[in-house]
């Protein structure tokens, strides 16, 4: 199945990224640090020349991918030391979570600077970068669940991280500019999370399970709030003062653009449908589940849904890059195909004394395999189509050319050197 048509190829060739970050933390603290840190990377990255078996080859190492592997390591630590996110891991694990997240943020920010520094920016780079960020939502929250011991509420933390991300991507699709407000998730949000990891390494994970009123006496007089755990109070506060206002701004900005272009707001809102159904479907599955899947397998549910979310975001970004007509993309609904099967299996438990037709662990594992396969198919297919359309190599704007002997040569934009990856014996 092809994802990019002839019109999309033309749009890719003229696409230019536009983004604005109004964060004061980024402007006065992090940007100066990132501008210095990027100088540690040599100009040949992401292009590395190697000689293997007397043949000169190119190895492309995108900085974003290196940063993404830090998050994978963090998520693995969370799974190993807190399988159900209800027990405190060793304190060094909290410190590792914070350090790995800080490194991810740094590498993710430096990747764009390195691309501009080496003149290797491309639409594929943007798609890959934001695609990793979409998957990062799930991996970051798995570590957060380990640190705060929030059990099944881990999924809700993922929801409130995914809503602003999806809203920003949706807004970018219509306004053609990615606008990050003064306080935003990629900057202040991530900084807050790794600060919490570092603090937890000192005070211990049990602090998050205390009642909010006892931990912070200032709020002990407030009814309801003083009795809930600290992590749940944080969840409610972030939703009320962070997520909802941010998403309201996304809708308002899109509405202004729709009005100016005399378009249909219904078509614009229809692009939110797959995300709403995805979250709603998983919650219905969990509600009907006889084994309480989110409490018993929080990592699998969060990761599987995070991969489906990554597909939705990636498909929307591709639609933006290819200047596709505004409105719901039916292929986005492919990520929803498995959930009705899972819910149907849960209903069989009602007819069989609480025992489903297939054990829910295997259904959940199948969900993870399905979403992983769907995302990998999308990623591999789009990488192949974009590199073919633009005549570039993966993760680089290096141009693929051929010499007089019809041997493949690559023009590396960062150095301007032209060489043959596979040296012929004779010409």
Tens-digit pLDDT profile for residues 270-306: 999 999 999 999 999 999 999 889 999 999 999 999 9
Residue 375 has pLDDT above 90, yes or no: yes
226 close to 147: Cβ distance less than 8 angstroms:
no
Beta-bridge mates of residue 418 = 411
Phi, psi of 400 (to 5 degrees): -85, 125
Residue 246 has pLDDT above 60, yes or no: yes
Beta carbons within 8 Å of 160's beta carbon, 6+ residues apart? 235, 238, 239, 242, 243
Mean pLDDT over all residues of the chain?
Answer: 85
Phi, psi of 401 (to 5 degrees): -135, 175
At 392 the three-state DSSP class reads: strand
pLDDT band at 225 (very low <50, low <70, confident <90, very high): confident
Q: How many CA atoms lie within 13 A of 142 on its CB side?
A: 29
* Alpha carbon separation from 338 to 78, 346, 368 (Å, rounded): 26, 13, 10
pLDDT in the model for residue 192: 95
At 232, list the tokens: 């749940």
Mean pLDDT across the stretch 191-195?
96
Mean pLDDT across the stretch 309-314?
96
Mean pLDDT across the stretch 36-48?
73
pLDDT digits (tens, 9 = 90+) for 93-149: 999 999 999 999 999 988 888 877 777 677 877 888 888 999 999 999 999 999 999
pLDDT in the model for residue 402: 43
pLDDT in the model for residue 361: 94
168 close to 178: Cβ distance less than 8 angstroms:
yes
CA 133-134-136 angle, to 5 degrees, is: 60
Least confidently predicted of 7-16, 186-195, 211-220, 368-377: 211-220
Element (H, E) at 59: strand 55-60
pLDDT in the model for residue 46: 59
Mean pLDDT across the stretch 144-155?
94
Mean pLDDT across the stretch 16-40?
90
Has 130 been annotated as catalytic? yes
pLDDT in the model for residue 70: 96
Beta carbons within 8 Å of 62's beta carbon, 6+ residues apart? 46, 111, 125, 128, 395
> What CA–CA distance (Å, rounded) separates 216 from 90?
25
CA 123-400-8 angle, to 5 degrees, is: 35
pLDDT in the model for residue 393: 64
Mean pLDDT across the stretch 343-364?
90
At 255, list the tokens: 């509405």
DSSP line for 99-135: HHHHHHHHHHHHHHHHHHHTT---HHHHHHHHHHHHH
pLDDT band at 416 (very low <50, low <70, confident <90, very high): very low
pLDDT in the model for residue 406: 44
Q: Three-state secondary structure along 10-55?
A: HHHHHCCCCEEECCHHHHHHHHHHHHHHHHHCCCCCCEEEEEECCE
Mean pLDDT across the stretch 406-417?
42
Q: Is 299 exposed, middle or buried (0-12, 13-18, 19+ CB in 10 A)?
A: buried
Residue 338 has pLDDT above 90, yes or no: yes
Beta carbons within 8 Å of 309's beta carbon, 6+ residues apart? 134, 137, 138, 162, 166, 275, 278, 335
pLDDT in the model for residue 411: 45
pLDDT band at 427 (very low <50, low <70, confident <90, very high): very low
Mean pLDDT across the stretch 196-221?
85
Rounded to two decimals, the pTM is 0.88
For the chain, how many helices (H) and strands (E)?
Answer: 17, 7
Residue 22 has pLDDT above 60, yes or no: yes
Higher local confidence (pLDDT), 348 or 427: 348
* Active-site choice (7, 22, 97, 130): 130
What percent of the chain is predicted at pLDDT more than 90?
Answer: 55
């Amino acid at each position: 199945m092809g994802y990019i048509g002839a019109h999309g190829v033309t749009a890719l060739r003229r696409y230019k990224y536009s983004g604005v970050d109004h964060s004061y933390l980024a402007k006065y603290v992090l940007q100066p640090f990132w501008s210095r840190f990027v100088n540690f990377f040599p100009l040949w990255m992401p292009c590395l020349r190697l000689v293997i078996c007397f043949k000169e080859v190119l190895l492309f190492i995108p900085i974003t991918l290196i940063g993404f592997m830090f998050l994978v390591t963090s998520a693995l630590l969370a799974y190993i030391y807190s399988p159900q996110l209800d027990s405190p891991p060793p304190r060094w694990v909290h410190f590792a979570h914070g350090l790995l997240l800080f490194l991810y943020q740094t590498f993710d920010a430096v990747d764009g600077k390195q691309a501009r520094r080496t003149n290797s920016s491309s639409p594929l780079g943007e798609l890959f970068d934001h695609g990793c960020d979409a998957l990062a939502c799930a991996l970051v929250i798995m570590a957060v669940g380990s640190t705060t011991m929030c059990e099944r509420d881990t999924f809700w933390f993922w929801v409130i991280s995914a809503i602003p991300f999806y809203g920003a991507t949706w807004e970018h699709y219509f306004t053609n500019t990615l606008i990050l407000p003064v306080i935003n998730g990629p900057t202040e949000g991530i900084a807050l999370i790794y600060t919490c990891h570092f603090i937890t390494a000192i005070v211990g994970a049990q602090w998050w399970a205390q009642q909010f009123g006892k931990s912070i006496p200032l709020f002990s007089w407030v009814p309801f709030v003083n009795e809930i755990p600290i992590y749940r109070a944080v969840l409610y506060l972030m939703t009320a003062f962070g997520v909802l206002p941010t998403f309201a701004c996304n809708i308002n900005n899109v509405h202004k653009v729709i009005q100016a272009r005399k378009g249909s707001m219904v078509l614009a809102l229809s692009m939110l449908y797959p995300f709403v159904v995805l979250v709603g479907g998983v919650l219905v599955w969990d509600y009907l589940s006889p084994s309480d899947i989110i409490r018993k397998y929080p990592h699998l549910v969060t990761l599987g849904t995070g991969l489906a979310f990554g597909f939705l975001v990636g498909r929307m970004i591709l639609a933006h890059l290819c200047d596709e007509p505004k409105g719901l993309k039916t292929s986005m609904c492919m990520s929803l195909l498995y959930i009705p099967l899972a819910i149907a299996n849960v209903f069989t438990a009602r007819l069989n004394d609480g025992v489903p037709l297939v054990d829910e662990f295997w259904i959940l594992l199948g969900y993870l395999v399905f979403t992983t396969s769907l995302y990998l198919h999308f990623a591999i297919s789009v990488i192949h189509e974009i590199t073919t359309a633009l005549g570039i190599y993966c993760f680089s704007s290096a141009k693929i050319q051929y010499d007089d002997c019809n041997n493949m040569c690559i023009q590396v934009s960062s150095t301007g050197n032209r060489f043959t990856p596979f040296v012929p014996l004779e010409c």
